[in-house]
Amino acid sequence: MESAVKPRVLLATWGTTGDIAPYTGLATGLSRAGHQVTVVTSRRYAALFREHGLRVRAMPLDEQEAAVGAHKARRARIGNGRDMALTAGKVLLEAAGEGTDVLLAHPLLHPQAAVIGEGLGLPCHGVYTVSHAMMLPRLIAGTPRLRYTVADALVKGILSPLYAPVISALRRELGLRHRFTGDALISSARRHTVYYGFSSALLPDRMPLPATHKMVGSWQPAQPPNWHPDDRLTDFLASGPVPVYFGFGSMGRDQAERLSRIITRTVRRLRIRAVVQGGWAGLTGDGGDDILTIGECPHAWLFPRMAAAVHHAGPGTTHASLQAALPTLPVPFKLDQPFWAARLRSLGLSPAAIPMPRLDSGSLSLALTRLLADSRYRERTRRIGAVIKRQDGTAGVVRALGLTG
């Protein structure tokens, strides 16, 4: 795609804070390369892109996002998901109709983007930080191709009912022939190339990704302009031994009290210091001068200043800790986190992976002691982190799409 005018890129992304962060790096990287980037995301995250001078079309999902996790009945959860998918499809269609040359879509918005690309005659590609099959890590253990294919189809089949109404609505709006929408996710991923923003260094050697799915390397979150660390944080770091990081991303508040208590007991038992990132759950620590609770802070700045990290093993946080050569203890609790936690263990980067329901101060203290005492974990992490750093995921997307201007 070579011309005097840089291609217009429409990047559609949505999810939790951890989902969004890598896309800030991808979007700003494309913009720095001279491309005209418009981001479609929810109003909750619009500022993360606008602060970098990017154009944003915000999806009004405030009410539906607030309801996530609040519904107990399956029908209510599906209804809320369908409402979000419909709103997202409408905004994405409006944004694409204003003019773009290529659609790049997060997995949660890929089904809508696929139909819009078909209707408007635009190329559409997936940009994922996880594959659907990774949501079922036990099924794909050992990575035989048949198991991977089955896991991929199962997850997409579970999610497809959420997209059936919006796929039908978009096809009518665009004058496309009606198709059965039960395999909305399967068909969109089958037709399109998908670029994964994670490192091949973390994957099994025989990971059976489809032929059109490519790993390009991780997308590092963009650091907020003019950001500087809080004085409380810099003072804490300078006042004693190097602390351990604790953070669990976008985990719900129902676990906050229990986790905060476990962290406090572990810090006291091991006589260490800790930086606790509150996240959505609002984690805290009652450790006196030995625990500091912080809000948002770029991991690229924070992690090189830590002795170890205890986190949920989301793909973004996992890549960030490894790039910082930071020994990591994973505590996964949902979705693809058990997959990444298992990979850390399999690669010899961590002495254990403790599922959230089984976490207590005793198991955490034992595993963290081993992680801190054995220098081999840091050395292995340093080596694989160097490989991850060499894989520039944003440059990989630019090259793969021919967006070199």
CA distances from 224 to 24, 298, 385, 396 (A): 10, 8, 23, 23
How confident is the model at residue 321, as a pLDDT? 96
pLDDT tens for 329-378 read 999 988 899 999 999 999 999 999 999 999 999 999 999 999 999 999 99
Q: How many domains does the chain have?
A: 2
Residue 282 lies in a domain: yes
pLDDT tens for 240-296 read 999 999 998 766 666 778 888 999 999 999 999 999 997 666 666 665 789 999 988
Residues 240 and 185 in one domain: no
Residues 178 and 320 in one domain: no
Print the domain residue range for 324.
231-389
Residues 263 and 371 in one domain: yes
The answer to whether residue 212 scores a pLDDT higher than 70 is yes
pLDDT tens for 7-27 read 899 999 998 888 899 999 999
Distance CA 130, CA 29 (A): 20
Q: For residue 253, what is the domain's CATH number?
A: 3.40.50.2000
Mean pLDDT of 38-64: 95
Residues 235 and 331 in one domain: yes
Distance CA 236, CA 230 (A): 10
CA angle centred on 65, ends 59 and 68, rounded to 5°: 150
3-state DSSP assignment of residue 325: coil
**Rama region for 104: left / alpha / beta (φ>0; ψ in -120 to 50; rest):** beta
CA dihedral angle for residue 305, residue 306, residue 309, residue 315, rounded to 10 degrees = 10
Residue 207 lies in a domain: no
pLDDT tens for 147-162 read 888 998 899 888 888 9
How confident is the model at residue 258, as a pLDDT? 87
CA distances from 136 to 6, 335, 354 (A): 40, 8, 17
Whose CA is closest to 344, among 137, 148, 169?
137
The answer to whether residue 180 scores a pLDDT higher than 60 is no
Distance CA 349, CA 371 (A): 9
pLDDT tens for 84-116 read 999 999 999 999 999 999 999 999 999 999 999
Residues 237 and 351 in one domain: yes
**pTM beyond 0.85:** yes
Residues 103 and 47 in one domain: yes
Residues 274 and 347 in one domain: yes
Residues 54 and 172 in one domain: yes
How confident is the model at residue 70, as a pLDDT? 66
Most confident of 72-76, 189-193, 253-257, 391-395: 391-395
Residue 83 lies in a domain: yes
- The helix or strand, by DSSP H or E, that contains position 157, with its residue range, turns out to be helix 145-173
3-state DSSP assignment of residue 311: strand
Instruction: Provide the percentage of residues in the chain whose pLDDT is more than 70.
Output: 90
Residues 281 and 185 in one domain: no
The answer to whether residue 143 scores a pLDDT higher than 80 is no
DSSP secondary structure letter of residue 193? -
How confident is the model at residue 254, as a pLDDT? 66
How confident is the model at residue 256, as a pLDDT? 77
Residues 150 and 248 in one domain: no
Residue 403 lies in a domain: no
* Confidence band of 211 (pLDDT split at 50, 70, 90): confident
Contact in structure between 139 and 336 (CB atoms under 8 Å): no
Residue 188 lies in a domain: yes
Mean pLDDT of 218-243: 94
Residues 257 and 137 in one domain: no
* Residues present in the chain in total: 405
How confident is the model at residue 390, as a pLDDT? 93
CB atoms within 10 A of CB 273: 20
Distance CA 74, CA 72 (A): 6
Whose CA is closest to 275, among 247, 240, 235, 249?
247
CA angle centred on 343, ends 137 and 48, rounded to 5°: 90
Distance CA 218, CA 124 (A): 20
Residues 14 and 150 in one domain: yes
How confident is the model at residue 3, as a pLDDT? 46
How confident is the model at residue 183, as a pLDDT? 53
